[in-house]
Amino acid sequence: MLAGPAAAAPTRAVVRADAVDPLLMGRPLETPHHGSFETFAFGGHAELRAADDRVAGIANPDWMSVPRVSAFATLRVHPRVALAGEATYDRGTDDLVLERAVVEARAGSAWYAHAGVFPPPLGRVNFDHDAPRNEFDGLSYVATELIGAPNPQLGIGAHGIRAPSGGSPWTWELDLVSGYDEGVVTEAPLGTRLPMGRNNLGTGSGSWGFAGRLAVQPAPVTELGLSAFAGAYQAIQIDGVSVDPARAILLAVADARAHAFGLRLSAEAAVASIDVASGLEGLYAERQWAASVEAARTMREPVARAWRRSSLIAAVRLEAVDHDAQIAGDSRYRASASLNLRQAAWGVLRAGWYYEFRRDRFDNLKPAAGLAFSLATYF
């Protein structure tokens, strides 16, 4: 079994949206776990990748990697109050990240307050990116290159859900978060990179910003969401003293998912505007964008009679990122395909391929391609 020995645990379950009060908006609606979200629950997931990645014909010697390992726990201390914690090793940041340490409380009939460290709602992907749920061995460029998922931040906010009679349910969230710091330029030698300025615990020269998301669900398998972040950072500090005015950061994200013609479709797009110091103009980007479209189809379900919850899925993804929209280069365009053997809801075994066009800031082309085999499982 893809899930390993933990799959046999008698308390293991899959939580559904209608099973408990949806206090923990950040957790996916269906997540294998031990225990119960109504009292105490814990679990996690991990991903292993083996690949032959080549850039301009040169192979990457780092052919085996662990892209992600995550563990979480939730504790409901009162019918209206819950605590949640999650720690994640993410290869993109090459660090152990405190992804969630939050207290959430039901404050009204349909809205909740939360405070602590949590992923702000910058697109669905920033709070719903469990590796076994994905059809590909990596997140899209929207998530990794612009949002910087996982991107937990220190903050306080509120979220809610509305389900009007005869209308489509919709959710909302509004947060005051620690935002980004000077790392967007000082830690980014290749040019402006928002993920390098993730101000996770409110340190550095970041200043508080606002993040919010509004999403509507016209059908059970359809969702349309709009997210935004507005904040600032101090680009230059000397001995901890800011010697440059605060610089604005604006980030907008749109995401959608639906079923059509037997396909599971999803798309996301993001645009970013970053104010840079006058001496850095031309060297560091002020406008960036990224977009991704995915389509997946179940080819066979179940794969075998004895494996009743198994399925064989084919998926394709087209994506692009432009790290500097004001010049011709500094961009990537990628096409990916994956054939996945899935055991719902415990894990997935993937065989994938991708081809990519990379252009540096001088518009020099470097093609890249790869074959990858990956395993992702809950435990």
Q: What is the pLDDT of residues 37-74, one digit of tens each?
A: 888 999 999 999 999 999 998 998 889 999 999 999 99
Instruction: Check: CB of residue 240 under 8 Å from CB of residue 205.
Output: no
Say yes or no to pLDDT of 216 above 70: yes
- 222, burial (CB in 10 Å: exposed 0-12, middle 13-18, buried 19+): middle
Hey, what domains does the chain have and what are their CATH numbers?
49-69+106-378 (2.40.160)
Of 233, 150, 228, 144, the C-alpha closest to 184 is 233
Say yes or no to pLDDT of 26 above 80: no
Say yes or no to pLDDT of 3 above 50: no
Is omega for the bond preceding 50 within 30 degrees of 0, making it cis? no
Say yes or no to pLDDT of 93 above 50: yes
Going by pLDDT thresholds of 50, 70 and 90, the confidence category of residue 238 is low
Going by pLDDT thresholds of 50, 70 and 90, the confidence category of residue 27 is very low
Say yes or no to pLDDT of 7 above 60: no
244 vs 105, higher pLDDT: 105
287 vs 28, higher pLDDT: 287
Q: Which amino acid is at 21?
A: D
Going by pLDDT thresholds of 50, 70 and 90, the confidence category of residue 243 is low
pTM: 0.87
